[in-house]
Chain A
Amino acid sequence: MVSVAFINPLSDEGEIIVRELGDFGRVLSDNDDLMQIVTGSRSQEISNDSFIPRNYVDLAIKRIEWFVKKKNDRNFDNNQYDFLFNTEILKFDVIAFYLLCQAVGVKYGPNSRESRVMVESQGKLIEYRLEKLSKNVREEVVTNILNSLISSTHIKWTFFEDLISTKKLKLQDLILDQGEIVLDKDDFLERFSHKIHGRKPEKMYEALIGDRIKELVMIKMVMQNTENYILKVGEKSDREIEPNPILLELADKISDVLAASVRSYGIGGSYRGNVKASALNPKAFPPCVKKVMEGMKSGGRNDAIIMFLTPFISYARLYPSVFSENITKQISDIDPSLSIVQNEVLPLIFEAAERCTPPLFEDQPQDKVNLNAKLGFGMHQDPDLKNEGETIWYTPMSCEKVKIHLPSLCKPDENCKKIGNPLSYYNMMIWKVRKEAKTESTTDNKE
């Protein structure tokens, strides 16, 4: 039986392990037990010393590294991290988890990129750890943890308010009935059997809820609790005078790992390849942008061109990696003479405005001023360096926002499932489109 703490370090078992550690100073000294477990893991790659964590802090870093590389490195080799899936590592792993949360909480707080990566990495780690278990053991662990996290069999959907608010769970993924979430099989059969015709209710339960949803809910709850714990640490550290230097150092190392991944694999998105600013390729535009480019009917055309299209086109052309780099810039940081703005960005926007019925800037010249404002050039007719910074350069709306403010634009296709912002769609597609173009041209050459 695998310990619950291997999946949920925030469980009672996990807390006991932390209490047993005692002296904090030990986390940096070489630990033979740890190294032995690591090198003894079944498929562990040991050809290089750097693969082997020597102490708790090392192990903590490895946890983050595993996640970041797995996501971004095309040559990722899981065998370098096999120890993470060896249940014998339990005690070390739990301590490493707490070290990470505390380091992130103290230095960066819950709304940071570091915190997000920590929370996501815990989620992924759980997924992969569960996969290595046999079906029975897996079911048992999941049920145990769920029972400890959810005390009642009648769960109101509002119990998951946090998870829904942070989009870890979608309301549509859950089966709701009379305000309650149905997870349990008997409960399901009692509520719905009589309504189901021509299909086996048991099978329907397995498909729609079953282990899949139970695991999903469990994992997301542990992730949410991790986030809450980081928040708690952050709030507590605000009241303290001196944070522990070991934690601060670990925090720096975590951001080094993230920074290194940005440098070597482009950005921390789910697609590979570097997104550098380059000429726009309309083929890679998401459906919503294509729709605006075709021109809008009078209703909503202002918002569509000014609030939606202007930020999208300007960022896609000048600063496509804004969300991963997460550094605020001005247009002139990238286009100092504004020649790209004048020659590439504005013409596209004006073209779309022209195609509106009636054409946008013809009957409402004030809109030109608003457009300028969205680019960061204040309330003026034309972009001018001397006014830059009077307003901020608006970042592109998320899909969520588009759906609410301009519902008629969003016509999601298959690729939309993987992204949350039209700009990410573009970044993902531009890479695909380029690859397709290349294969096309090589076939051309053969002929």
Chain B
Amino acid sequence: MIKIEYLTPASPEERKRYYREEWDIKQVPDFIAHSIQEREFGFDHVGRGPNDRYKVFRNPDLLKRFLKVRTPFAAYCSVAFYDKPRRRDKWTKAELVFDVDAKDIPIRTCECEGVCEICLNEAREIVCGIIDTLKEDLGLKNIHIVYSGRGYHVRVLDDDVTHVNSDVRSQIVKYIVGAEVPENEYSLDYEKVSYEHFVIPFGYPNVFTERVKYSILHLNEHSNLDEVNKKLLKDVLKYRPLIEDNNWGMFKNKIGPLRYKKVVNGIASMNMSLVDAKVSIDLKRILRLPSSLHSMVSMKCTEVKNIETFDPFKEAVPKFVYERK
């Protein structure tokens, strides 16, 4: 029965209780606490967006005092590092960020209005795929995951990427989400060979295969894919157990090569919505502060230690929710 009280807004009283009784400065992850004086902070005091910006804290203790006194509706901190954060001046670097919002992912098996357990879990699965690619392909290691309240932020702090510009970031996004269908014909000296993405077990074609697999396994009869009509969608659903077994060749045969092409084209163009690319290319974005309260849904924004097993309904529900009547 407690379920009904989940995901509803927190009252000002509940906010106060949260920050004064439950919140602890130690819950702010080290990757932020250690660079606190280089970052810009922003706050939303009344629930109309973060318009109290350009805040700076010289040490965690000052941030702690601020939060305990003001108990804001929402708290944010920049992905950017500055020499002079108060004026957002002398930008030095910015985390590389991927924002997966459960509400906005293109294929959801639930039909909820906002977010629910089902789509939050789907967002989590997408995040797992992204992290794999960041590690395996791009060789990135300093990766942090934050549950934002209605999705996830993947925050990368490797020196290799924190200084790159928006153009490079947008290329990274396209690679990570599988936004383009890989070539399937290659010219050799005297012949042409064709390799579909699914026979290439490495590099970008492999990333693409993983994303397509995810999408196909999450389609349902109401899904909307460009150029894919009802009949084709039905066939995809019918034969998709083959893909579960990685039997792609057979799947493509059953569907027919031309129709297969339509399916992967449709998925590729949809993949760009797996993450909010606007966030990834923004070098000065502020993101919800881990440990702070997402007052709209009464959830804690939390650093995730183990994404494989993370369950927001166990680890991100503030105490006051359990005590609601």
Is chain B a partner of chain A in the same complex? Answer: yes
Most chain A Cβ neighbours within 10 Å, of B138, B140, B160, B189: B138
Q: Does A42 contact B (CB under 8 A)?
A: no
- On chain B, the residues within 8 Å of A180 by CB distance are 139
- Most chain-A Cβ atoms within 10 A of its Cβ — which of B161, B175, B277? B175
Interface residues of A in 138-176 (CB under 8 A from B): 156-158, 161, 164-167, 170-172, 174-176
A400 within 8 A of B: yes
B278 touches A404 (CB 8 A): yes
Residue A116, interface by CB 8 Å: no
Listed residue (A178, A208, A405) with the most chain B CB atoms within 10 angstroms of its CB: A208
What A residues does B180 contact at CB under 8 A? Answer: 172
Q: Which residue of B lies closest to A196 (CB)?
A: B201
Smallest CB separation, B54 vs chain A (Å): 26
Q: A171-B175, A177-B136, A405-B278 are contacts. A165–B204 as well, Cβ < 8 Å?
A: no
B174-A167 in contact (CB<8A): no
Contacts of A282 in B (CB 8 A): none
Q: A207's contact among B175, B195, B277, by CB below 8 Å, is which?
A: B195
**Are B165 and A165 within 8 A (Cβ)?**
yes
How far in angstroms is the closest Cβ of chain A from B272? 4
**Residues 385-420 of chain A: 1 if any B CB is under 8 Å from the residue's CB, otherwise 0?**
000000000000000100111011011100000000
Nearest-CB residue, chain A, relative to B134: A179
Given contacts A177-B137, A180-B139, A410-B272, are A404 and B170 in contact (CB under 8 A)? yes
Interface flag for A74 (CB, 8 Å) = no
Q: State which of B195, B199, B201, B277 has its C-beta within 8 Å of the C-beta of A404.
A: B277
Do the beta carbons of B200 and A204 come within 8 Å of each other? yes
A198 to B168, CA, bound (A): 35
B:189-236 near A, CB below 8 Å = 189, 193, 195, 199-204, 226-227
B195 touches A165 (CB 8 A): no
- With both beta carbons as reference points, the residue of chain A lying nearest to B249 in the complex is identified as A198
A172 and B174 contact, CB distance less than 8 A: yes
- Residue in chain B with minimal CB distance to A408: B273
B29 at the interface (CB under 8 A from A): no
* In contact, A400 and B170 (Cβ under 8 angstroms): yes
In the complex, A411→B160 CA distance in Å? 32
Complex alpha-carbon distance, A224 and B165, angstroms: 17
Interface check A185, CB cutoff 8 A: no
Write the chain B residue with the least CB distance to A299.
B104
Which chain A residue shows the least CB distance to B205?
A208
Chain B 123-150: CB-based contact to A (< 8 A → 1; otherwise 0): 0000000000000111110000000000
Is A263 interfacial (CB-CB < 8 Å)? Answer: no
| Minimum CB distance partner of A170 in chain B | B171
Residues in A whose Cβ lies below 8 Å from that of B226: 411
CB–CB B138/A179 < 8 A: yes
Contacts of A179 in B (CB 8 A): 137-140, 160
Instruction: Decide yes or no whether A70 CB sits under 8 A from chain B.
Output: no
CA distance in complex: A198, B198 (Å): 12
Looking at A164, A166, A400, which has the most chain B CB atoms within 10 Å of its CB?
A: A164
A192/B204 contact (C-beta < 8 A), A164-B168, A164-B171, A207-B186 known: no
Measured CB to CB, the closest approach of chain B to A179, in angstroms, equals 2
Q: Is the CB of A165 within 8 A of B168?
A: yes
Residue pair B281, A404 in contact (C-beta under 8 Å) = yes
Residues of B whose CB lies within 8 Å of any CB of A are: 136-140, 160-161, 164-165, 167-168, 170-175, 179-180, 182, 186-189, 193, 195, 199-204, 226-227, 269, 272-273, 277-278, 281
Known: A172-B174, A175-B203, A182-B203. 12 other contacts (CB 8 A): A157-B139, A165-B164, A165-B165, A165-B168, A171-B175, A172-B204, A174-B203, A176-B138, A199-B199, A208-B203, A210-B188, A403-B170
